Amino acid sequence: MSLPSPAPLTTTDARRDERTDERTETGPPKAAHIVKTEPGESAAAKVVEARIYGYPVEALCGERFVPQQDPKRLPLCGVCKEIYDLYRSVSGGGLGETPGS
Q: What is the pTM of this model?
A: 0.61
| Per-residue pLDDT, 30 | 82
Query: Would you say 87 and 34 are in contact if contact means Cβ atoms under 8 Å apart?
Result: no
| Per-residue pLDDT, 91 | 78
Query: What tens digit of pLDDT does each residue of 43-89 get?
Result: 899 999 999 999 999 999 999 999 988 888 899 999 999 999 998 88
With a CB cutoff of 8 Å and minimum separation 6, the contacts of 87 are 95
